[in-house]
Amino acid sequence: MANIIVNGTRHQIDVEPETPLLWVLREEIGLTGTKFGCGIAQCGACTVHVDGQAIRSCSVTVRTVENKQITTIEGLSRDSSHPVQQAWLAEQVPQCGYCQSGQIMATVAFLKATPNPTDAQIDANLTNICRCGTYERLRRAVHRAAALMRT
């Protein structure tokens, strides 16, 4: 049994404690916005927040996040109104879109720590992979989100 709190809701889940959080989110709770990309914390498609910190849920066991506050893309806002999502919409960032849940979650955590980032800080701290190559738009959207969050 694992006790986890996801997007404010507590779940008791009957899984092996070494199950990666990613698969608990996707297959036990049905939150499929968090994606599987590599399984070894390389790509960031599975990024969620645990107590506000961005983590790669494919490489964290459900045991280690029990009773912590987990936020997924579905819990970021009810209506895509989070400034980071709004910036993504305005800059029309996604192409295939598969990595974008992870990109958005990574950015939300990053901007909390770095509210007014430079390009160099973005490049050094955001390490999620996008195979469609949306980095130019991602950078613009990160700056736009930062500006929105300052207002």
Partner 1 sequence: MTNTTLSRRQFVVTTVAAGGAFALGVGVASSPAEAALLRDSPWNDDSMNKPGEINAWVVIQPDDTVIIRYGRAEMGQGSFTAMPQILAEELECDWEKVRPEYASANRNLRDNKVYGTLATGGSRAIREQGVLVQQAGASARERLIAAAAKRWNVATTECEAAMSKVTHKMSGRTFRFGELAVEAAAIKLDKEPALKRPDQYKFIGRRLARLDVPLKINGAAKYGIDLEVPDMVRAAIIKSPVFGGTVKSVDESGIKSRRGGVQVVKLPNAVAVVADRYYRAQAALNALKIEWEVGANGTTNSTQFRKMYLDALNEKGAEARHDGNVDTAFAGAAKTIEATYDVPIIAHAPMEPLNAIAHVQGDRVDVWVGTQNADAALTVAAQNSGVKPENVYIHNTFSGGGFGRRLGPDEVGQAVAISKIVGKPVKLLWTREEEIRQGRYRTQAAIKFKAGFAADGTATALEMRNSAGSGNPAAAQNGIDQQTLQGLINTAYKLPNFRIISILKQTHVPLGPWRAPGHSQNVFFVESFVDEMAYAVKKDPIAFRRELLAHRPDFQQVIDLLVEKSDWGKPMPKGKGRGVAVHESYDSIVGMVAEVTVAGGQVKVDRVVIVADVGTVVNPRGVENQLEGGMIYGLSAALFGEITVKDGRVEQGNFDTYPVVRFKDAPKTEVYISPTPGKRWGGIGEPGATMIQPAVTNAIFAATGRRLRSLPVRGQDLSGSV
Distance CA(30)–CA(130), nearest Å, equals 24
Find the binding residues for partner 1 in span 84-113 (CB under 8 A).
85-101, 104
Distance CA(15)–CA(57), nearest Å, equals 16
End-to-end CA distance of the chain: 43
Q: Is residue 61 a contact residue for partner 1 (CB under 8 A)?
A: no
Choose which of 5, 13, 33, 68 interacts with partner 1 (CB under 8 A): 33
List, in sequence order, the alpha helices (H) in the chain.
21-23, 73-76, 83-91, 100-113, 119-125, 135-150
- Tell me which stretch binds partner 1 (CB under 8 A): 5-13, 49-57, 63-71, 118-126: 118-126
**Contacting positions for partner 1 (CB under 8 A):** 15-16, 19-20, 23, 26-28, 30-40, 42-43, 45, 72-74, 76-77, 79-81, 85-101, 104, 122-124, 126-139, 144, 147-148, 151
